[in-house]
Chains A and B, each alone.
Chain A
Amino acid sequence: MSLSVDITHRFAAFEMSVQFETPGGLTALIGRSGAGKTTVANVVAGLLRPDSARVSVDANILADTDRGVWVSPQARRIGYVFQEARLFPHMSVRANLLYGARRRGHQVRAKADLPHVLDLLDIAPLLDRRPGALSGGERQRVAIGRALLSDPQMLLLDEPLAALDPARKAEILPYLERLRDDADMPILYVSHAMEEVARLANSVVVLEAGQVLASGPAAEVLSDPAAIPVMDPAAAGAILEARLAGHDDDGLSRLSVSGGSLFLPHIDGVPGDRLRLRIEAQDVMLSRTRPVDISALNIVQGKVMSVYPGKGPGALVRIRTGEDVILARVTQRSVAALGLAPGEDVFAIIKSLAVTSGNIGRARR
């Protein structure tokens, strides 16, 4: 199951030329505002017709303008979740949820699917309410449910959390994780928030000024400073796949990662749970020898892959540890003093308390 996109369009300010193919799962389309993310989303949904476009989901061709093919939005079966929910204010939540199914004549199946979707998004108590009486987070969950019940062949989420405050975001992220793992269809997730992308994305496409700057598996792209100049070095971080190994008596949870084990403040779950950690580069220190008599509990050994000097005195060091990649933000002076260069052995030190719960997500594989 994959989405294939090839768009060219001449805007007044710049030329857009975007080609990418997603391997299925959740693909994050990231970039600065104005990079063309929403334009791509609208072309995929059929709401915007560019100079030239080829869009297909698996073998299903939605647009091929060179051959005069342009499927109308209502026939594309793309579940589009907008930034501002866009629920119909004059209808109840139930009518909103079943709107797409009624239009496509799938009422019977949608009513059968309804309990599952209500359960997935936890919106059963809202059924008879009106959108005007819902909170921002509830509205967005209903919008996701409405898209799911319209019998889509893929989901398109355009910054669905951007209009929400941090508490509401934290409320919805677990639902999106469940959606990613349960929905049997490609998901294109437009965002510029690194924490969301790091938690949710299987693969990432980076847009910059209407061009694809990088694309590939999330762990690789997100830890590659060259691929993400749009990324603020202070917000840089790497993604690690981890397995919950156990809970210790002193309130710490033990995690195994490919490069060793980590201790983090208590994480809800049972041993064996798969987790995704985002470790921010600024929470990682480096040492050439294995440190002893140090308060930090998490020390993993690795090899320097590359060093990226920043514009200021800082530098980002990419370290391979096991199958994962860790990013460390250190000063250029330290890079010189430690002689950090590709291929050198190094120990990465991660402070346990630095990994906050917002950076820990669920993974199912």
Chain B
Amino acid sequence: MAMFAPLTPEEWQVLGLSLRVSLLAVAVSLPLALFTAYALARWSFRGKSFVNGLVHLPLVLPPVVTGFLLLMVFGPQTALGGLLEAVGLGVAFRWTGAALAAGVMAFPLMVRAMRLSLEGVDPKLEQAAATLGASRGVVFMTVTLPMVLPGILAGAILGFAKALGEFGATITFVSNIPGETRTLPLAIYSFLQIPGGEGAAFRLVILAVVVSMGALLISEWVAARAARRVAGQ
């Protein structure tokens, strides 16, 4: 196979699946991460440091352990797994499961970026909004959210990159099924297991670099625009 030939259907499939998994992972975990970041940045409650530790656990645990824990909670033999399976939302050995694993792994990075950004919002602006007649929800939507938009974007891109590269938790939780859970990193790994598969692996490596680089550039551009807006210029 030539190094720069157009993508084969199998490669398209791997790329499409990877994007689908990463996008779903980010889309689902983003609101949750924002809520968690807000709670950690603004509220004081009992067990805050425990929640903080729990959120960061996937960052410090070996990914294989995270994957194994997911299997123990969502696996087909568990009560929750069975229930989800019964209502047609089963995730075990499905691409949605890969998205779940990727989302869990990306979660702490997203929370961190958003929390940092939230802590940068001056509560005095929110007070000013309140004196002008805005309820708490409206203050959040009209003042807080627009001002943390760069942080949310940064968190989303970071999460997307992490999800795109997620390997250990995914392969442990949902295995390595072509067309279902074989994302880019898993496909590269699989090719490297076959004698003579280095060429095919290298094409996917280039693909991974191009996609990651593209995401990074787009995010830089969007974040710069958002930051300019927030800076009031």
Contacts and interface: CB of A to CB of B under 8 A. Distances in A.
Interface of A: 45-47, 72-80, 82, 84, 86-90, 99-100, 103-104, 130-133, 146-147, 150
Nearest to B230: A90
B103 to A, nearest CB: 29
A100 B129 CA distance: 8
Contacts, number: 70
Given A131-B232, A132-B231, A132-B232, A90 B146 contact: yes
18 contacts: A47-B131, A73-B127, A73-B130, A77-B133, A80-B128, A80-B131, A84-B124, A88-B125, A88-B143, A89-B147, A89-B231, A90-B230, A90-B232, A99-B134, A103-B129, A103-B133, A133-B232, A147-B132
A74 B126 CA distance: 11
B230 A100 contact: no
Contact of A74 (B131, B142, B147): B131
Contact of B233 (A78, A84, A132): A132
Given A74-B134, A74-B135, A99 B147 contact: no
A75 B133 CA distance: 6
Contacts of A82: 124, 128
Given A84-B124, A86-B124, A103-B138, A73 B131 contact: yes
B233 A86 contact: no
Nearest to B149: A90
A299 B233 CA distance: 55
A39 to B, nearest CB: 14
Given A132-B231, A150-B132, A86 B138 contact: no
Given A74-B135, A103-B129, A103-B134, 5 more contacts: A74-B133, A74-B134, A88-B129, A89-B232, A100-B133
B128 A86 contact: yes
B42 interface: no
Contacts of B143: 88
Interface in B127-182: 127-135, 138, 142-143, 146-147
A15 B104 CA distance: 51
Nearest to B146: A90
A88 B135 CA distance: 16
Contacts of A88: 125, 128-129, 142-143
Contact of A78 (B131, B138, B230, B231): B131
A42 B229 CA distance: 30
Nearest to A83: B124
A349 to B, nearest CB: 48
Contacts of A84: 124
Contacts of B135: 74
Nearest to B128: A86
A109 B130 CA distance: 20
Contacts of A46: 131
Scoring B122, B124, B128 by chain A CB atoms within 10 A of each residue's CB, the highest score goes to B128
| Chain A to chain B: the 6 pairs with minimum beta-carbon distance, closest first | A132-B232, A89-B232, A100-B132, A103-B133, A86-B128, A80-B131
Given A47-B127, A82-B124, A84-B124, A90 B229 contact: yes
Contact of B131 (A76, A89, A90, A130): A76
Contact of B133 (A89, A132, A150): A150
